Chains A and B, each alone.
Chain A
Amino acid sequence: MNCYPQGPVADPRAAYQFGGSEIVTTQRTSGRRKQAFAAAAAVAALLATAACGGGGKDNGASKDGAAGFDAANNKVAQASLAKKGGTLKFAGAQDADSWDTTRGYYGFAWNFMRYYSRQLVTNKTAPGKTGAELTPDLATGLAKITDGGKTYTYTLRDGITWEDGKPITSKDVKYGIERSWAQDVLSGGPIYLQQVLDPDNTYKGPYKDKSADHLGLKAISTPDDKTIVFHLPKPNSDFQEMLAMTSASPVRQDKDTRSKYALHPFSSGPYKFQSYDPGKSLVLVRNTSWKQSSDPVRKAYPDKITVNFFTNANDMDQRLIQGDFDLDIGQTGMSPQGRTVALKQHKENLDNPVSGYIRYAAFPQSVKPFDNVHCRNAVIYGADHKSLQTARGGPVAGGAIGTNMLPPSVPGAEGQKYDPFGFLKNDGAGDVAKAKAELKECGKPNGFKTTIAVRNNKPVEVATAESLQASLKKIGVTADIDQYDGSQTTGIIGSPSNVKKKGYGIIIMGWGPDFPSVQGFGLPLWDSKYILQSGNNNYSLIKDKTIDGLFNSYVKEMDATKKAQIATEINHKVMEGGYYLPFVFEKFINWRSSRLANVYTTDAYSGEYDFVNLGLKK
């Protein structure tokens, strides 16, 4: 359909006048009536444009070699077409929280950091579940584990270098890890290693370290430049997973600019920072000191990698569809507008992976009547799961109805096979009879009043809150929706005292694994030790000795099969407690340009494309 303005169209200035006059009025402006008619003309023009907007371009540009719908979902698309060279162009609607390897906590940032940082071990560059497995990177092999799981020893590879050509030593690795102890200067990143290596927090971080080399952390020793040994006070079976996170990347002391490090992280990987303008753009170029022979993981296809940040996600989606960019760095799925256009016209450029996130409602037990399991169950039964799924975007863009709290990408997950509350019966409709029976047992046969807390900057979450509100009305539960400032999550819903004060009986949230294990997903959510006064994520305030105990035995268990069994058991205990109402096992619709080759999603980064080995066809 052709949509260029033809013939007489309303003067755009009329539209401008419309907006201007109507918002500023109250003064006696002359010719108000004339303006009203100008406005009428403007609206007529707008209507005409709206009617025309449905078409969009259909010039057949999409038939240019895109791999096909879901071609890169858990499998590799067009691996053989990847050539060396070219510029890989990312677009983003939001910059990373920090590009400092120690400080970033966004999943996409971790994924992207592999371009300019290397770790002792890292996730396999392979699609789907295999991607979640570990493979040696800077180290010659996976850890030599001794002393009953309390000592991990790695030997560094030959030929590994920084961007200035100097070799990467075990001391650089130790220093990079030590940085996460300096939370006062470098806040924001994951602190798993700190909790495992130094649970009593005796080390104060390298900046307050009085020793000459600032390498005073006792739990890590570096007998020589090629050897690094970790001494764990207590075993933790996911320890190598934690070392595979980019927050365990080496940092060289003389290049550590502390809080400014994010502006130019010193590269140990195949690419280095050329320029970075926060919130606007980022450009990586080849690190000429990096040698392919020293790196069994990274293929380093493109010559240059650019990231452009947009302020408007719709705008970005449109540019992706137009072919100006290759993929969204955020990897959280296209927004409704772009998604519809893409699904209708460019389906072969889309993948529909499971994200690893679970979207859910949590019930803080400090807010009455949610201290009573039957009242919690009443809400779980009363919710219309199909409606919640639709609010999340439907089965394709939103995800399958979530029936339990363990994401499908985590070992031990059963997916929809474990459905303790019978969500899938009646096509996902709520079970009003059971909900009412639970209400009776809770001593609130006529229902009760409560408040749903939801972030105001996530329209989809607000939609789920409205859906929940509507279905709870049917069982007599009146829920008021409180939309709080989404950038203040840690202080508002992360503060149990505030939650109690505000009476937030239902908190709408989402969570994805930091690393694909029940510990990397559920520990902060379900373990009583993780109830914090600020930045709390255990919103339901779960204090269950059985669950704590299961986590304790999980970290001691070294056998993968048994670990998965414990994960399953933890999930069951959480569901039986009625602490959560899961909405969906989230799915995304992500864009992949027709120029991309060797594309695949990986469980290591929650269904995102594996950035580090993306290639271009030309």
Chain B
Amino acid sequence: MTAPLHEPTADAAPSAAEEASLAEAGGAQAVQGRSLGRIAWERLKRDKLALTGGIVVLVLIVIAILAPAIAHLVGQDPETHHENLIDPLFSTPKGSLGGISGDHLFGVEPVSGRDVFARIVYGSRVSLLVGFLSAVVAVIIGTVLGILAGFFGGWVDAAISRVMDGLLAFPQLLFIIALVSVMPNEMLGLTGTDVRLFVMILVIGFFGWPYIGRVVRGQTLSLREREYVEAARSLGAGRLYILFKELLPNLVAPIIVYTTMMIPTNILTEAALSFLGVGVKPPTASWGQMLSSAIDYYDSDPMYMVIPGVAIFITVLAFNLFGDGVRDALDPKGSR
């Protein structure tokens, strides 16, 4: 599920601008013979914050993949109710700090007594799955349409650009809320939560592609006038060849940068949707849904709000730091 962050296409030709900037920086010793990927990796390695972010992201991915094993390790699962741990008068967990104990590392949920640790661990699956896959959807659509618009120009460009403008002006959160609430319970062989996940991924991705599409289009516009493209064209290369062999490799850097930037936003969108009650269905755990149910207990059981809040915060922060580092590494001159 990881994006190919560390080894972008090896044969990507470093642009003249890149080379020049490196020479100016004067930090590099051997200027020749290094690929863009390698240069970026060298830069990334020096950026401690970005590396920390990257490590946290990796850890989160491992947690998401191994969620059942981790929950099993602490002897909990996200759906078992423990009403005996709930104060019958107040509906909140017995004991201090939301019922944190050796058995329940992060305490238990108010009312149902489900283990918060297990739900956080399982909730990471929903967040990361939606975050990554919807970014993938956006990248695919955005790259294809952006490249087409930039390369062909004319009415194709006009049409695609207007669609992008339209989508950017669309109140996407409201649209998703409306769409998710009218979705059938069964669709394409999926049921319940899977339908919701599927719809969320598609829709978040669909509304995200113009951001990537615009960048790709702009980049393509400038790249198609470059000499090497001219050269390829004069040697008789076909359109497809130019698109995929000449242009695409040079678009990899901005695409990667935008993907890493898009994932945390998508994670927040998922959390917002779950918070508003149109995310995954119960009993599936999700951080946004936990936050939403914590509202009623923020006073009497603040830990229940703090824990998923911190989980979202750490995840988004890690992705942002990492994405920032990747951008600095790949595109040090990028306009900020």
Contact = CB atoms under 8 A, between A and B. Distances in A.
A485 B113 CA distance: 27
A343 B90 contact: yes
Given A43-B309, A395-B88, A480 B302 contact: no
Interface in B171-212: 181, 185, 191-192, 208, 211
B321 interface: yes
Given A23-B265, A54-B300, 13 more contacts: A33-B321, A36-B321, A40-B317, A47-B306, A53-B298, A314-B295, A340-B90, A340-B91, A391-B111, A394-B86, A394-B90, A396-B88, A465-B282
B225 interface: no
Nearest to B281: A481
Contacts of B309: 43, 46
A390 B83 contact: yes
A391 B268 CA distance: 29
A451 B300 contact: no
Top 8 A-B residue pairs of the complex, sorted by shortest distance between their CB atoms: A394-B88, A50-B302, A340-B300, A336-B296, A390-B83, A26-B211, A25-B265, A30-B336
Interface string A31-51: 111001001100100110011
Contacts of B219: none
Contacts of A36: 317, 320-321
B35 interface: no
B279 to A, nearest CB: 11
6 contacts: A23-B269, A26-B261, A39-B317, A43-B313, A46-B309, A469-B283
A466 interface: yes
B282 A481 contact: yes
B316 A22 contact: yes
A284 to B, nearest CB: 32
Interface string A477-501: 0001111010000000000000000
A466 B109 CA distance: 13
A397 interface: yes
Nearest to A25: B265
B192 A480 contact: yes
B222 interface: no
A341 B296 CA distance: 12
Contact of A26 (B91, B111, B208, B297): B208
Given A22-B268, A53-B302, A466-B112, A502 B185 contact: yes
Interface in B292-314: 293, 295-300, 302, 305-306, 309-310, 313
A393 interface: yes
Interface stretch (A455-463, A517-525, A568-576): A455-463
Contacts of B283: 466, 469-470, 481
A39 B258 CA distance: 21
A471 B83 CA distance: 12
B27 interface: no
A483 B262 contact: no
A390 B112 contact: yes
A314 B113 CA distance: 23
Nearest to A481: B282
Nearest to A395: B88
B293 A459 contact: yes
Contacts of A592: none
Contact of A340 (B192, B261, B295, B299): B299
Nearest to A460: B111
A336 B300 CA distance: 9
Contacts of A33: 49, 320-321, 324
Contacts of A39: 313, 317
A101 B334 CA distance: 69
A49 to B, nearest CB: 9
Contacts of A473: 79
A359 interface: no
A471 B283 CA distance: 12
A462 B298 CA distance: 19
Contacts of B127: none
Interface string B104-121: 000000111100000000
A335 interface: yes
Given A26-B211, A28-B336, A394 B299 contact: no
Contacts of B88: 390, 394-396
Interface of A: 22-23, 25-28, 30-33, 36, 39-40, 43, 46-47, 50-51, 53-54, 56, 314, 335-337, 339-341, 343-344, 384, 386-387, 390-391, 393-397, 451, 456, 459, 462-463, 465-467, 469-471, 473, 480-483, 485, 502
Interface residues of B, number: 55
B153 to A, nearest CB: 24
A482 B258 CA distance: 36
Contacts, number: 142
A56 B282 contact: no
B73 to A, nearest CB: 22
A465 B335 CA distance: 52
B186 to A, nearest CB: 9
B26 to A, nearest CB: 24
A206 B81 CA distance: 57
Contacts of B296: 314, 335-337, 459
Contact of A467 (B81, B208, B268, B310): B81
Contacts of B68: none
B336 A56 contact: no
Contacts of B101: none
B86 A390 contact: yes
Given A26-B261, A395-B88, A480-B185, A470 B317 contact: no
Contacts of B112: 387, 390-391, 463, 466-467, 470
Contacts of B313: 39-40, 43
B111 A463 contact: yes
B264 interface: yes
A451 B208 CA distance: 33
Nearest to A452: B282
Contacts of B298: 50, 53, 337
Contact of A485 (B79, B83, B181): B181
B282 A466 contact: yes
A43 B308 CA distance: 12
B90 A50 contact: no
Contacts of B191: 480
A394 B91 contact: yes
B317 A32 contact: no
Contact of B300 (A23, A47, A337, A395): A337
Contacts of A51: 302
Interface in B148-183: 181
B297 A337 contact: yes
A26 B91 CA distance: 40
A394 B92 CA distance: 10
Interface centre among B192, B293, B313 (most CB of A within 10 A): B313
Contacts of A32: 320, 324
A420 B81 CA distance: 26
A192 B259 CA distance: 63
Contacts of A314: 295-296
B192 A396 contact: no
Contacts of A22: 264-265, 268, 316
B332 interface: no
A276 B258 CA distance: 54
B237 interface: no
A515 B277 CA distance: 35
A289 to B, nearest CB: 46
Interface centre among B86, B90, B185, B211 (most CB of A within 10 A): B90
B142 to A, nearest CB: 11
A344 to B, nearest CB: 8
Contact of B111 (A43, A335, A390, A451): A390
A32 B323 CA distance: 10
B272 interface: yes
Nearest to B262: A26
Contacts of A502: 185
Nearest to A53: B299
A456 B182 CA distance: 13
Contact of B91 (A30, A47, A341, A390): A390
